[in-house]
Amino acid sequence: MSKNYSDSDWTLEIKPVSGWFNFHIKDVWRYRDLLLMFVKRDFVAVYKQTILGPFWFFIQPILTTITFTIVFGKIAKIPTEGLPPMLFYMSGVVCWNYFSDCLTKTSSTFISNAHIFGKVYFPRLVSPLANITSLLMKFGIQMLLLTCFIFYFIANDADVHPNIYILITPYLILLMAGLGLGFGIIVSSLTTKYRDLTFLVGFGVQLLMYATPVIYPVSALPDEYKSLVKLNPMTSIIETFRFSFLGAGSFDASNLLYTTVFVIFVLSIGIVIFNRVEKTFMDTV
């Protein structure tokens, strides 16, 4: 090996934590293989889980949808924009599941990876990024389920009209992932200080669902609530999703733009806080 370093060739300088804006996003890219390995690990872990394992991915949305159909559709008689209630609820549930999974999973990043983080350096952001990627597997399976249901209903002449806006779905997924990631890493940074935060978040996410048009369409809301619910960045995502796959409701580009800005904002704050906490976190465990 020939290494003819001169004194100015230092490749790395380790200094005390200072400032909030020393990022190493480039490092994240360098560790993309690790991200893939984490995703692969999650796949295998899920696959090898209990007997239910991946089967649970089907059962959970179906049971939730049936419950919603009975409680909110049959009993509370909340309108579903003329859509078959099953499809209406399931589309909401599938999207909501992905977002809330992203949020809850990434919000325990520091706690559940404390052991690895204490022993090896890699850009910590790789872990939550791997989480939201792995969760795509579950989302994909549930989307498949939803698609089957849509075909079934179309075959039975239901008033369901998938349209060209379906092409926007990847962008919607990106927004959901970004939103879940952004909130998740903020929470995970705070959990290094407050250990009961994770439970609060779990509960908060459940409540938040009712402020999101999962079980009701925005159009069914009284006017004074409409603008309030539209402040929720998930609203435009779910509405757009329903519009493109089921053809009900409307497409509102400005709402989607609002969500985009919101996601960028939350993500930026999240990355700044996360980036700061990842350097001091090991001192507190």
Partner 1 sequence: MSSVIKVDNLSKIYRLGLISRRTIAEDLNKFWSRITGKENPYLKIGETNVRSVKGKSDYIWALKDISFEVKDGERFGIIGKNGAGKSTLLKILSRVASPTEGKIRIKGRVASLLEVGTGFHPELTGRNNIFLNGSILGMTQKEIKSKFDSIVDFSGVERYIDTPVKRYSSGMYVRLAFAVAAHLEPEILIVDEVLAVGDAEFQKKCLGKMHDVSEKEGRTVLFVSHNLQAIKNLCQKTIILNNGELFASGETEEALKRYNQLNREIKITAETHVNNIKNRRGSGAIRFTGIDVLDDTGNKRFEYELGETVRFKISYRTFKEMQGITLIVALLSGLSRECLTLACYDIVKSKVEPGVTGEAVIEFNDINIKPGEYPLYFELIDNKLNSYSKDVVDDITAPLVIKRNDYAEKKSFDPSKPSGFFETPSRLTLNEIFRESDRIRA
Q: Is residue 50 part of the contact set for partner 1 (CB under 8 A)? A: no
Q: Which stretch binds partner 1 (CB under 8 A): 6-14, 87-95, 150-158, 248-256?
A: 6-14
Enter the tokens of residue 105: 């999973």
Q: Which of 20, 23, 29, 44 is the binder for partner 1 (CB under 8 A)?
A: 44
Q: Is residue 3 part of the contact set for partner 1 (CB under 8 A)? A: yes
Q: Identify the H or E element spanning 10.
A: none
Q: Is residue 26 part of the contact set for partner 1 (CB under 8 A)? A: no
Q: Is residue 121 part of the contact set for partner 1 (CB under 8 A)? A: yes
| Dihedral angle of Cα 61, 81, 204, 254, to the nearest 10 degrees | 120
Enter the tokens of residue 175: 């927004």
x/- letters, 161..200, toward partner 1 (CB under 8 A): ------------------------------xxxxxxx--x
Q: Is residue 52 part of the contact set for partner 1 (CB under 8 A)? A: no
Q: Please answer whether residues 216 and 78 qualify as being in contact, where contact means their C-beta atoms are separated by less than 8 angstroms.
A: yes
Q: Is residue 77 part of the contact set for partner 1 (CB under 8 A)? A: no
Q: Give me the long-range contacts of 196-204 (CB less than 8 A, separation at least 24).
A: 197/107, 198/107, 198/108, 198/111, 201/103, 201/104, 201/107, 202/104
Q: Which stretch binds partner 1 (CB under 8 A): 63-71, 81-89, 141-149, 277-285?
A: 277-285
Q: Which of 157, 223, 224, 283 is the binder for partner 1 (CB under 8 A)?
A: 283
Is 26 or 115 the residue whose CB approaches partner 1 more closely?
115
How long, in residues, is the chain?
Answer: 285
Q: Which of 54, 79, 118, 140 is the binder for partner 1 (CB under 8 A)?
A: 118
Least Å distance, CB 123 to partner 1, is: 10
Query: Which of 241, 257, 276 is closest to 94 using CA atoms?
Result: 241
Instruction: List all residues 6 or more positions away from 112 whose beta carbon is below 8 Å from its beta carbon.
Output: none
Q: Which of 19, 50, 119, 155 is the binder for partner 1 (CB under 8 A)?
A: 119
Q: Is residue 29 part of the contact set for partner 1 (CB under 8 A)? A: no
Q: Which stretch binds partner 1 (CB under 8 A): 62-70, 112-120, 154-162, 264-272?
A: 112-120
Q: Is residue 117 part of the contact set for partner 1 (CB under 8 A)? A: yes
Q: Please answer whether residues 105 and 135 qualify as being in contact, where contact means their C-beta atoms are separated by less than 8 angstroms.
A: yes
Q: 113-140 burial, b if ≥16 CB within 10 A, otherwise e? A: bbeebeeeeebbbbbbbbbbbbbebbbe
Cα 22 to Cα 25, 241, 272, 273, 276, distances in angstroms: 9, 37, 9, 11, 8
Q: Is residue 21 part of the contact set for partner 1 (CB under 8 A)? A: no
Can you give the binding site for partner 1, defined by CB under 8 A? 1, 3, 5-7, 9-17, 31, 33-34, 36-38, 40-41, 44-45, 48, 115-122, 191-197, 200, 279-280, 282-285
